[in-house]
Amino acid sequence: FSTFGKNLKWEKNSLTYRIVNYTPDMSAPEVDDSVEKALQVWAKVTPLRFTRIDNGTADIMISFVPQEHGDSYPFDGPGVFLAHAFPPGPGTGGDVHFDEDESFTFSSNTGYILFLVAAHEFGHSLGLSHSYDPGALMYPWYSYNNPDTFVLPRDDVNGIQSLYGPNPDTDGDIDKPEPPTTPDACDSTLVLDAVATLRGEMLFFKDSFFWRSYPQSNTPQQTLITNFWPEAPTHIDAAYESQQSDRVLLFKGRRVWAFSGYDLVRGYPKSISSFGLPKRVKKINAALYDVESAKTLFFVGSSYYSYDEAKKTMDQGFPKRVDQTFSGLTGEVTAAFQYRSYTYIYSGPYMFEYSLSTGRLFRLLNNNYFLRC
Amino acid sequence: CVPVSQVTEQDEHDAESYLKRFFNLTEEKGPTGRRGVSAVSSKLSEMQRFFGLQIAGTLDDDTMTMMKKPRCGVPDTNIAS
């Protein structure tokens, strides 16, 4: 998280807010409710309390305005900027402006959910700047979240409490929902959901995030899966790059999504039975594409299947037991990929390095070996 | 091979506007920095680092795509001033 420095914060815990005007995109009660809920996101974790006034000047003045609107930070029409807000202080301090040219909504998937945009902007009104944590509410990009199940992420809680402290009424309350945290590449207990290559890069998936490791750069870059593939699932089971079709395929439960670049391929998601996997297979644990044979191995429990990418059929003689081919691999496979002719199989917090052609095990490494901790 | 990026003059103009708005890019005066790294290039690297992109200091498809994503209008560099 980051703050605006110079200790820009309110010197009082009771703040007033006023909704100066409304957007035609939503009913007035929907706007009222979205704003109130967005303020409560911050009140829940601090001593801050918010009171609405309908006349005069409030600490936080909220308005919907288009283009140039008098504060020398013009909006850009329907486009990139959704809203902005000012750090705590007198006058425009704390005020929030929504770009009237954007389409706001109460809860549907079409348009930007006003609650989410408002909760972010109120973070600025209270003294938070943007966060580097891609899972934080204070990350600059808008990303969809279900407003009914939203829980303020840990990074944002730490940020706002660094300014105002915890909520004295609920601090220590054991049944309040645990703030979600963003996976840490250097957590030695990290168990990855899936690993795949993508045009020479490596992608490491965990929960709603993935790390992209570029051959030329030192540190893998973490981002939300939906930042790149808005239609993609999170908490996936498996992933692989089909170099045959120049696509990345993501698996979750009985379904598979195929992406070409940023775009979901027409006709996806499909059922995994479309590969010819038996109907009884409810999910796959891992998938890897073998460049040499142009076969894809699907790992299911302690067995694996072989799929011929060229013929688009399952190979005969499968499933085989994993430990029949991969010596020393007795645990469940959690992820797999091939890189520079080596085959890497993840099982729990470990990564096994093999030669697929000989089945020989070279090294036993940590899960975050490629994440360069 | 990865498709050659089609960075147009318009893209460069848009990128400079984005960097001015969000990463405090100021008009370049006089000779570029000692290492010849232009202000635009170092601000591009700053943005690419912030958003988890490949830190190349040059405008590529990924970076242009990310500049078009809906976002908050508050700058990303510390704006205490």
Q: What is the DSSP string of B11-66?
A: HHHHHHHHHHHHH------SSPPTT---HHHHHHHHHHHHTT----SS--HHHHHH
Q: How confident is the model at residue B51 (pLDDT cuts 50, 70, 90)?
A: confident
Distance CA A133, CA A156 (A): 9
Interval B7-19 mean pLDDT:
87
Q: Between B8 and A120, whose confidence is greater?
A: A120
What percent of chain A shows pLDDT beyond 70?
Answer: 98
Under the banding of pLDDT at 50, 70 and 90, the label for residue B54 is confident
When comparing pLDDT for A127 and A220, which is higher? A127
pLDDT of residue B9: 83
pLDDT at B29: 58
Q: How many CA atoms lie within 13 A of A17 on its CB side?
A: 26
More confident residue, A359 or A46: A46
The share of chain A scoring above pLDDT 90, in percent, equals 70
Query: Whole-number mean pLDDT of chain A?
Result: 92
Residue A305 pLDDT greater than 80, yes or no: yes
Contact A82 B71 (CB under 8 A): yes
Say if the Cβ atoms of A2 and B78 lie within 8 Å: yes
Highest mean pLDDT among A174-183, A333-342, B51-60 belongs to: A333-342
CA nearest to B55 within chain A: A217
Contact at CB, A130 and B51, closer than 8 angstroms: no
Q: Is residue A214 within 8 angstroms of chain B, CB to CB?
A: yes
A2 contacts in B (CB within 8 Å)?
78
Angle at B55 between CA B50 and CA B59, to 5 degrees: 100
With cut-offs at 50, 70 and 90, classify the pLDDT of residue A1: very high
A141 close contact with B: CB closer than 8 A: yes
If pLDDT is split at 50, 70 and 90, which confidence band does B1 have? very low
The partner residue sitting opposite B80, judged by closest CB among A6, A79, A141, is A6
pLDDT at B3 over 60: no
User: CB distance A214–B54 less than 8 Å?
Assistant: yes
pLDDT exceeds cutoff 50 at A281? yes
Q: Which residue does chain B place closest to A243, by CA atoms? A: B1
Please tell me which of the candidates A80, A87, A132 has its beta carbon nearest to residue B70: A80
Strand partners, A196: A203
User: Is the CA virtual torsion B9, B11, B12, B17 positive or negative?
Assistant: positive
Residue A172, pLDDT above cutoff 70: no
Q: Which comes out higher in pLDDT, residue A170 or A119? A: A119
Nearest chain B residue (CA) to A138: B72
Is A5 an interface residue toward B (CB < 8 Å)?
yes
Selected residues 262-291 of chain A with any CB under 8 Å from a CB in chain B: 262
Q: Which of B54, B73, B80 sits opposite A8 (nearest CB)?
A: B80
Instruction: Considering only the beta carbons, identify the residue of B2, B50, B55 that sits closest to A199.
Output: B2
Q: Do B72 and A121 touch (CB under 8 A)?
A: yes
Mean pLDDT to the nearest integer, A195-208:
93
Rounded alpha-carbon distances, angstroms, from residue B6 to B2, B9, B10, B60, B64: 12, 10, 11, 8, 10
Contacts 24+ apart (CB under 8 A), A366-371: A366/A188, A367/A190, A367/A191, A367/A192, A368/A185, A368/A186, A368/A187, A368/A188, A368/A190, A370/A202, A370/A204, A370/A213, A370/A220, A370/A339, A371/A185, A371/A186, A371/A204, A371/A211, A371/A213, A371/A220
Average pLDDT over residues A18-31: 96
- Chain A residues with CB under 8 Å of B54 CB are 212, 214, 216-217, 221
**Higher pLDDT among residues A5 and A122, named by residue:** A122
Catalytic residues of A: 121
Q: Which of A130, A131, A132 to mutate to test the interface with B (most CBs of B within 10 A)?
A: A130
Distance from CA of A120 to the nearest CA of B (A): 8
Gap between the Cα atoms of A220 and A354, Å rounded: 23
